[in-house]
Structure 1
Amino acid sequence: MGLEDTLNEVEVAYFMSEKYQHRGYTKKAVTALVNWCFQVSDVPYLILTIDCTNTPSCKLADNCGFELFEKRTSIGHIQPNMGSDSYYYYRIYRKG
């Protein structure tokens, strides 16, 4: 979790070893991190940026309560750790 340099918004990021995928660990970790962030800060929302080709990560984002905000195509800058030039931009808002 941290400030996404090109968007200037607080972003959650996750990576899981293939050995431990599909066991629910990432969902638990992301949910705990989101809850913690909203408890200790006053940010109104958090974001995820996911490569359009990463379908499993998009499914996880949905399962963690993030909402797809829009599909974006970078102009002159490719998002770090992404293979394609387009990505999905997700948000989750503070409750209440």
Structure 2
Amino acid sequence: MMNINIETDNLIVRPFSSVDVEDAAYYSQQPKVSYWMADMVMHDEKEALDWIEWINKKFDISEPFIMLAIEHKCDHKCIGFVGVHAQAMVDNEVEISYAVSDNYQGKGYGTEAAKTLIKWIFKNTELKELVAIVKPDNIPSNTVIKKLGFQAFGNKVAKYCGEMCKFNYYKLYKKLS
């Protein structure tokens, strides 16, 4: 696994490690995170450790499959994740995904983490575009995606957690300069 370690004003975006197990289990179970990311809930530390080991083994810059921890610099806590991966719900286009612990939401950390990863992805991979899918009623996440410069391209309907769901569909293109 490549050692990605990106610092921003408030965060460190880095690979997950076993020290993140308790924090990952905690943030994934919080009401807002678990509601919007129902397929990412880790019910205990064993599930969190299994997930961390799985994403670290699957890490691949060429595919890409990159899932990184968001560490709050001042608190030295893992407060969420940010990553890119092929998303089956949108014909395996590469999607950006992120989640931030409920008690750290509304402070711009999701935007800050996603922005820095997007910049890194477009500089260090061959990707020319990313997509995002967001449930229409997830106003905060739709706001983040728009702040990041993604453009709306209609809707997609896909199976999520056993039922058909509508998603807003966005794309972001690499700026050629």
Q: State the TM-score, normalizing by the size of structure 2.
A: 0.48
The answer to whether structure 1 residue 93 and structure 2 residue 173 are counterparts is yes
Q: Give distance in 1, aligned partners of 2:92 and 2:160.
A: 13
* Other-structure match for 2:86: 3
Aligned to 1:32: 116
**Matched residues in 1 for 2:160 and 2:144: separation?**
19
Mapping of residues 14-93 of structure 1, within 5 Å = 14-74=98-158, 78-79=159-160, 85-93=165-173
Larger Rg: 2
Which has the larger share of strand? 2
Secondary structure of residue in 2 paired with 1:42: coil
The structure whose residues are more often helix, as a share, is 2
Between 1:3-12 and 1:43-52, the stretch displaced more is 3-12
Deviation at 1:5, TM superposition (A): 2.3
Deviations 1:11-66 (A, max 9, x none): 10011111000111111100001111101111110011101221111011001111
What are the ranges of 5 or more consecutive residues in structure 1 without an aligned counterpart? none
Unpaired segments of 5 or more residues in structure 2? 1-83
Code of the aligned partner of 1:57? S
CA distance in 2, matches of 1:28, 1:91: 18
Question: Following TM superposition, where does structure 1 have runs of at least 4 consecutive aligned residues deviating by more than 2 angstroms?
Answer: none
Q: Which has the higher contact order (CA 8 A, sep 6+)?
A: 1
CA contact (8 A) 2:131 2:172 kept: yes
Count, aligned residues: 92
C-alpha separation between the residues in 1 aligned to 2:96 and 2:108?
Answer: 17
SS of match in other structure, 2:145:
helix
Percent of aligned pairs sharing the same letter: 27
